[in-house]
Chain A
Amino acid sequence: MTFWNDPINFLSGWLSGILTAWGLPATLAMVLTIFIGIVLLVMFAMTLDIFLVWVERKVVARFQDRIGPNRIGPFGLVQPFADIIKLVIKEDITPDGADKVVFNLAPVMAAMAVILLWAILPISSKIYGVDLNVALLYLVAAGALGTMAIIMAGWASNNKYALLGMYRMVANVIAYEIPMVVILLIPTILADSMSVKSITEAQASTWYVFLSPLGLLIFMISAIAELGRSPFDLNEAESEIVAGFHIEYSGMKFGWFYASELLHAFTFGGFASVLFFGGWQVPFLLADGFHFGSLVVTLPGIVVVLVQALAFLLKALFGYWVIMWVKYSMPRIRIDQMLAFNWKFLTPLSLVLLSVTALLGQLQTVLLPWAFTLVMFVSNLLIIWITIEILRAYARRQRKQEERITAAAAQGAHQ
């Protein structure tokens, strides 16, 4: 095992070797090595988070035909650091009558719920936290902790806006969790596993976006709703309830809510790429280099790992960019529309998609891979077509009804 072929294992072996040489017991040295690895991974996530603040501000500026931060550092790149310094030195205000312990616990828990997701995010075939065999449910469980943090923040603030924002946010998050969980079942069925590593490896030949494009669409919609971003940002409708559940938070505590929202959005982009875009899979890239038919370009392991990591981060950034794109081009929807859209449209649709996928999934072992892909793709298109037809028929009926009502009203006015 050399550095060039397996860098992560090499480094961890080297580090624990040094620690044992210092006289630490072997298990303790291993735990310490893992601990350092985790700290590095989380630090990477946090650095990415700081970078995302800049990306978000720059992209929103471009969407709104502005330049965005451009004063501090090249292209305003140092701007987020200035933001952080500002947040840290700001006075931290706890409102009167707040439930102090719960109030202070909430931002930590919100950040923790997002950081925990990085434990299972497979950045490349060699760089990943842990290969958990229930990873997809773990994703949902971490989301549940985040919801609990929102409830704690909204309740402990002793503020009506915070409480109302919390109710809206929780209603939003829990409603859209149903289609999200149902869609998580689709890669589970196709890969016959809940582990993100196996799901990524199962997409070596075909990304699941070709097998289930409708699944990706529903996943992205419910991910945006889970994040509480526009068009589902009723929790912080400025004209109604100001900032929502974190209205009373200031300084770094507010900073954590903001940072965890951004990192959460990026992480969801990452999971979209794992579930539907093959995660770290790069076309033609195998463990030892590129294979174009008979032409083989051999690469050392470390280059392969880095290319995979780069591919994963780009795919995740693409998912994040789609979330931003939706956020900055859609108006906010009303709460009744939001709930009706979920319970009357998205949930039934995702259940239909799940049933069809489960039935057709039986063909996976019977058909050739390309035929199976074709069958799945066509079935998805058929479901989309039927849904649109049903919606059009419904809209036509609504329109006729409305015409009848306006006609009757016009007649009444004449008489």
Chain B
Amino acid sequence: MPAEQIVFLLCAALILVSAVMVVTVRNLVHAALWLVAALFGVAVLYAVLSANFLAVVQIVVYIGAIAILFLFAVMLTRRDLVVRTPGMRGSWWIAAVLALLVLGGLVFLIVNQPGVNRTALAIPAGVDTLHALGNALVSSGQYLLPFEVSSILLLAALVGAVYLAVSRKS
């Protein structure tokens, strides 16, 4: 078995095990830490796919910012967890059946798709994906609009979040 496949399988095992822990562990701080492990696995996957920029951004944004925010939010609302610790709903098995059905449907669709077992070609020698991504994000014919709109989205999120998080003196 080629080295790449071994790396992929190890990484997939890490992602799936951590993801299962994220949705089942009762202690929410542990759930958030398992999320960090799952996200790290996804970053390795991006590295396997030669998406260098996304691999590091995954760690910078998800582990360096989003996971920290999650952990802080859990610690801020922990009174609830200590007192009552609500885990999962009683009817969790319905959700499990539903999730398995969705998975079965997706896998059925995927394996019956023509050309799905293709392997990737090598990236052409002259292509510098990093500079290409930069150019794509700022050329008006390509992704300039989504790029600028995403900054406005983040501005809106900041304004909204700050507005909600401030305790208003009322």
Indicate if the CB atoms of A147 and B71 lie closer than 8 Å.
no
Indicate if the CB atoms of A170 and B52 lie closer than 8 Å.
no
Checking B52, B53, B67 against A148 with a beta-carbon cut-off of 8 angstroms, the contacting residue is: B67
Chain B residue with the shortest CB-CB distance to A27: B3
Indicate if the CB atoms of A140 and B64 lie closer than 8 Å.
yes
Cβ distance A35 to chain B, nearest Cβ, rounded Å:
14
Indicate if the CB atoms of A155 and B130 lie closer than 8 Å.
no
Chain B residue with the shortest CB-CB distance to A177: B64
B68 within 8 Å of A by Cβ?
A: yes
Indicate if the CB atoms of B68 and A133 lie closer than 8 Å.
no
Indicate if the CB atoms of A138 and B56 lie closer than 8 Å.
yes
Residues of B near A134 (CB, < 8 A) are 52-53, 55-56, 130
**Known contacts A102-B33, A155-B75; is-contact A137 B53 (Cβ 8 Å):** yes
Checking A27, A137, A174 against B68 with a beta-carbon cut-off of 8 angstroms, the contacting residue is: A174
Cα–Cα distance between A95 and B52 once the two chains are bound (Å): 41
Residues of B near A99 (CB, < 8 A) are 29
A132 within 8 Å of B by Cβ?
A: yes
Interface bits B128-169 vs A (CB < 8 Å: 1, else 0): 101000000000000000000000000000000000000000
Residues of B near A174 (CB, < 8 A) are 64-65, 68
Checking B36, B52, B71 against A133 with a beta-carbon cut-off of 8 angstroms, the contacting residue is: B52
Checking B30, B53, B68 against A147 with a beta-carbon cut-off of 8 angstroms, the contacting residue is: B68
Interface bits B55-85 vs A (CB < 8 Å: 1, else 0): 1110110011101100100010000000000
Cβ distance A107 to chain B, nearest Cβ, rounded Å:
16
Indicate if the CB atoms of B53 and A144 lie closer than 8 Å.
no
Residues of B near A80 (CB, < 8 A) are none
Interface bits B27-50 vs A (CB < 8 Å: 1, else 0): 001100100100000000000000
Cα–Cα distance between A174 and B30 once the two chains are bound (Å): 22
Which residues, 8 to 38 on A, are CB-close (under 8 Å) to B?
Answer: 27
Checking B3, B53, B63, B130 against A145 with a beta-carbon cut-off of 8 angstroms, the contacting residue is: B63
Indicate if the CB atoms of A144 and B52 lie closer than 8 Å.
no
Checking A133, A144, A155, A194 against B64 with a beta-carbon cut-off of 8 angstroms, the contacting residue is: A144
Cβ distance A195 to chain B, nearest Cβ, rounded Å:
9
Cα–Cα distance between A133 and B131 once the two chains are bound (Å): 10
Chain B residue with the shortest CB-CB distance to A174: B68
Indicate if the CB atoms of B52 and A141 lie closer than 8 Å.
no
Cα–Cα distance between A177 and B65 once the two chains are bound (Å): 11
Indicate if the CB atoms of B64 and A152 lie closer than 8 Å.
no
Indicate if the CB atoms of B130 and A140 lie closer than 8 Å.
no
A215 within 8 Å of B by Cβ?
A: no
Cα–Cα distance between A368 and B56 once the two chains are bound (Å): 35
Residues of A near B56 (CB, < 8 A) are 134, 137-138, 140-141
Indicate if the CB atoms of B130 and A141 lie closer than 8 Å.
no
Which residues, 108 to 124 on A, are CB-close (under 8 Å) to B?
Answer: none
A143 within 8 Å of B by Cβ?
A: yes
Which residues, 153 to 170 on A, are CB-close (under 8 Å) to B?
Answer: 155, 170
Cα–Cα distance between A174 and B29 once the two chains are bound (Å): 19
Cα–Cα distance between A152 and B68 once the two chains are bound (Å): 11
Which residues, 1 to 49 on B, are CB-close (under 8 Å) to A?
Answer: 3, 29-30, 33, 36
Indicate if the CB atoms of A144 and B33 lie closer than 8 Å.
no
Residues of A near B75 (CB, < 8 A) are 155
Cα–Cα distance between A133 and B55 once the two chains are bound (Å): 12
A209 within 8 Å of B by Cβ?
A: no
Cα–Cα distance between A138 and B47 once the two chains are bound (Å): 12
A199 within 8 Å of B by Cβ?
A: no
Cα–Cα distance between A132 and B50 once the two chains are bound (Å): 12
A323 within 8 Å of B by Cβ?
A: no
Indicate if the CB atoms of A140 and B60 lie closer than 8 Å.
yes
Cβ distance A351 to chain B, nearest Cβ, rounded Å:
13
Residues of B near A144 (CB, < 8 A) are 59-60, 63-65
Cα–Cα distance between A99 and B32 once the two chains are bound (Å): 14
Indicate if the CB atoms of A147 and B64 lie closer than 8 Å.
yes
A151 within 8 Å of B by Cβ?
A: yes
Residues of B near A138 (CB, < 8 A) are 56
Indicate if the CB atoms of B33 and A152 lie closer than 8 Å.
yes
Cβ distance B55 to chain A, nearest Cβ, rounded Å:
8
Best-surrounded residue of A27, A133, A144, A155 (most CB of chain B within 10 A): A144
Cβ distance B47 to chain A, nearest Cβ, rounded Å:
10
Cβ distance A219 to chain B, nearest Cβ, rounded Å:
17
Residues of B near A170 (CB, < 8 A) are 68
**Known contacts A132-B52, A151-B71, A155-B75; is-contact A137 B60 (Cβ 8 Å):** yes
Indicate if the CB atoms of B65 and A145 lie closer than 8 Å.
no
Cα–Cα distance between A99 and B30 once the two chains are bound (Å): 10
Which residues, 93 to 117 on B, are CB-close (under 8 Å) to A?
Answer: none
* Residues of B that sit less than 8 Å from A by CB: 3, 29-30, 33, 36, 52-53, 55-57, 59-60, 63-65, 67-68, 71, 75, 128, 130
14 A–B pairs (Cβ distance < 8 Å), ordered by A:
A102-B30, A133-B130, A134-B55, A137-B60, A141-B64, A144-B59, A144-B60, A144-B65, A145-B63, A147-B64, A148-B67, A155-B71, A174-B64, A174-B68
The 4 closest A-B pairs by CB, nearest first: A144-B64, A141-B59, A137-B56, A134-B52
